[in-house]
Structure 1
Amino acid sequence: MKGKNEEQKVVVPSWYRRVVPEGYVRADLHLEGRSPLLMNSGETDPDSDDYRAFEALSKARSKTVEQKAQLRRLEWSLALYLDADLGPYIPAKNVQEMLRESATKWRRGADVSRSLVVVEYRIPLLYDGPRDEAGLWAAGYRYTTLVANAGAGSGRVQRCRPEFADWSLDATLAFDPEDLDEHLLRMVVERSQKYGLGDYRQGKSGGPYGAFAASLSESYTVLGDPTPNGEKVRDATEEKAHAVKVARIQTVT
């Protein structure tokens, strides 16, 4: 599956990339899906025609079969992270929040929020299949289920979410090596596998979705980037202090 995804790798335009601060080094994060990923977009425009149609239709007391089908399609469409150029994507903030949450084990969540950047604003979701809304719906990229109604009246309501059975993603991370030790970052990435990604995932709701295997490349600098402060040669005292810090982190794990 990984090889197939690589054949369809989507090139991210430069305007979808963040400016990397001076002194940061980079590393490539790869997530390989181990269970289907469900989307539930938080970027819906409440003034869009689809959103208004969904709101109006969902409030109808009695719905025909056709209206129920239309409601499922609208809910699915509003939950889909879709970019006109990239197709389905994962927002950078979702990946950063996943890493931040993982880092809280070592009380380093604030450091991840402050000193780590996910370079792409929108990270293409890699899979073998159509990348437009109509093609995805026609090909059955959806999951429909009944869930308990949290509102008045109890009962169960139907939910329809975009679903991707076989997926992966590649993201570029940039981090300040003076605030985030690369060894710690690797442990954060490894532990992020406990949390998952997307809707109804293990780390958020105990669901089985969005599980993945994660890997991080060796850190590197990009031609033209300033030499990072983290590459300064340490003297003997600094090396000893660094070794003690790493040992303490390993003890916690």
Structure 2
Amino acid sequence: MGARWIDLAGQRAVVTGGTKGVGQAVVAALAAAGARVVTSARARPATLPDGIGFVAADLMSSDGCAALARFVEAELGGVDILVNVLGGSSAPGGGFAALDDALWMSELNQNLMGAVRLDRALVPGMVERRSGVVIHVTSIQHELPLPESTMAYAAAKAALATYSKALSKEVTPKGVRVVRVSPGWVETEAAVRLAERIAQQAGTDYEGGKAIIMQSLGGIPLGRPVQPQEVADLIAFLVSPRAGAISGTEYVIDGGTVPTA
């Protein structure tokens, strides 16, 4: 694994959304570095790597977050690393007028409140021990929103970024680091399906579908999407002692998509 140069032996880690995409890559990276890892999803996947703890929980709900927190306290006795990866959007196209209250609340629960609730449950233990790291995975869309279909998602990620900064100012003096990681377009399973669908609609191949998506983002100077493992390797570094002086900031990993400094 790419994170073998990181030593997390003895560390207890929780990764939300850890059965697919970026979350799955983060789980593997932290485990490869020696951490004991627990993750969650609504349903147990067909396979899980050996040694990975799992809780079936809907983290869009208060009850689901509470169930994960209870499992972590019972099985691990607390947590040293909390990586809030869970996120996504199921909103339809059509801009602001297509988003009713239920859709707005769904996007907020998925992209903001899950992290808020888990932090509230698990960070106090870190503060008590004066040690811990919290990662919030945001998105470049909080700077570059796409109004056609991801307005609510982008707004929720912007709220997550602001909340994360405020949390860092409160708990960093108490020994807990809080860092944001802001990916651009990542070539996850969902992204592959999107590119294939766009390619079919446009009468082109998969690479053509990817090119259409990159063009919609204003171009990716690197010429390709980010890979989940690349995000995971960045997170593995940030939660490690090698990043011990880093807190309260955001790391963008987007292949140069955001056009400003």
Assess same fold via TM > 0.5: no
More helix by share: 2
More strand by share: 1
TM-score where L is the length of structure 1 = 0.29
Higher RCO, 1 or 2 (CA under 8 Å, sep at least 6)? 1
TM-score where L is the length of structure 2 = 0.29
